[in-house]
């Protein structure tokens, strides 16, 4: 989508205060059940980290972090883009064992984000990370974990429907797995986004795997930072969003880089200078556990389960004049 729009005749399933109650219900229910399913324990997380730590998520490498000086600490702070690297560091610091993990609320500001129905400069998600063994660094374990997460999402949708009967939460539990190269082979004349839409409309719940590396066409399906996901063992969970008629990403996740994958991907991304940063040095010196993890969008999940047309219906942010005008014309209240 290139601009904000509201489907003709669209009306939210719930009035504004009932929407707030449903948001609370979804968040409380989902995080509790996610913790049970993946053996995760809640921890506190930073809103910002120092620039010199190397812990911030570089996303696609072009997004500018919100930075500020901290005179009392003689340091430069950065509001996190995500906690992808911090979580792995925390697992080591807290002495988590294999099979255990953590989850936390992550709040971020992505000021360079393009604004549309599903994107905001304010990002809220559950960040989670789990210690795994070297033997679990494989596609089958990744798929098993994806199915567990999708199961929790579908269970949350079912109990939401019981509590708020006017909400339609009809999600496909069966996950169809596909790689980015398979998508390019199937739809060579389409863009990455168009491929996602075409495939997800057909199969409804999809996990698109292997994001970040170069495809046969010489292009990337999408960008991924080189120093957290292993590009051969990652992916995005997509649901078909009936309200908007699009493939709707709820989670980006994956098995994290080991030493060899980190070296290889830093070389491919021309970021070998990062090896000297504290996080990267610890990983290269085998001081960090092998892990898998991801982020699950809180506002995205609420949008999906309640059938909302705009992310501003489930979170408070700042919008451009065109967005506000379109919402007012459609009779939609943005929080």
Residue from 305, 326, 296 nearest 115 by CA:
326
Tokens of 201: 């409309």
Please provide the DSSP assignment of 32-91 as one string.
Answer: HHHHHHHTEEE----SEEEGGG--S--TTS-PPP-EEEEGGGTEEEEE-S--HHHHHHHH
Catalytic residue among 127, 129, 196, 249: 249
Catalytic residue among 252, 298, 315, 317: 252
Beta-bridge partner residues of 309: none
Annotation marks residue 21 as catalytic: no
The rounded radius of gyration (Å) of the Cα atoms in the chain is 20
The answer to whether 180 touches 166, Cβ cutoff 8 Å, is: no
The answer to whether 114 touches 323, Cβ cutoff 8 Å, is: no
Catalytic residue among 110, 195, 224, 300: 110
Annotation marks residue 249 as catalytic: yes
Tokens of 43: 């921890």
Please provide the DSSP assignment of 258-272 as one string.
Answer: -HHHHHHHHHHTT-G
Catalytic residue among 31, 78, 120, 125: 125
Tokens of 42: 């809640």
Q: How far apart are alpha carbons 233 and 157 in whole angstroms?
A: 28
Annotation marks residue 252 as catalytic: yes
Q: How far apart are alpha carbons 183 and 291 in whole angstroms?
A: 27
Annotation marks residue 232 as catalytic: no
Active site residues: 57, 110, 125, 236, 249, 252
């Amino acid at each position: 989508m290139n601009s904000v729009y509201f489907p003709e005749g669209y009306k939210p399933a719930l009035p504004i205060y009932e929407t707030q109650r449903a948001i609370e219900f979804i968040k409380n229910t989902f995080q509790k059940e996610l913790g049970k399913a993946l053996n995760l324990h809640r921890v506190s997380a930073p809103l910002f980290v120092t620039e010199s730590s190397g812990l911030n998520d570089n996303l696609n490498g072009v997004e500018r972090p919100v930075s500020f000086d901290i005179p009392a600490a003689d340091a430069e702070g950065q509001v996190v883009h995500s906690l992808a690297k911090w979580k792995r560091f925390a697992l080591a610091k807290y002495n988590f064992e294999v099979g255990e993990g953590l989850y936390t609320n992550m709040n971020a500001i992505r000021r360079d984000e393009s604004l549309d129905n599903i994107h905001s400069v304010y990002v809220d998600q559950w960040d989670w990370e789990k210690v795994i063994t070297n033997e679990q660094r494989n596609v089958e374990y990744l798929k098993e974990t994806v199915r567990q997460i999708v199961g929790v999402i579908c269970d949350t949708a079912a109990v939401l429907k019981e509590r708020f009967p006017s909400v339609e939460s009809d999600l496909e539990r069966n996950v169809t797995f596909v790689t980015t190269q398979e998508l390019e082979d199937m739809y060579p004349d389409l863009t990455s986004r168009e491929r996602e839409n075409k495939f997800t409309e057909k199969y409804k719940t999809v996990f698109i795997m292997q994001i970040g590396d170069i495809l046969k066409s010489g292009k990337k399906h999408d960008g991924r930072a080189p120093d957290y996901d292993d590009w051969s063992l990652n992916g995005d969970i997509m649901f078909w969003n009936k309200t908007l008629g699009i493939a709707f990403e709820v989670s980006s996740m994956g098995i994290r880089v080991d030493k060899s994958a980190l070296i290889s991907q830093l070389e491919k991304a021309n970021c070998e200078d990062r090896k000297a940063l504290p996080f990267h040095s610890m990983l290269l010196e085998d001081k960090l556990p092998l892990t898998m993890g991801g982020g699950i969008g809180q506002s995205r999940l609420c949008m999906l389960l309640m059938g909302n047309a705009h992310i501003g219906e489930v979170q408070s942010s700042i919008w451009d004049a065109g967005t506000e005008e379109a919402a007012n014309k459609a009779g939609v209240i943005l929080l």
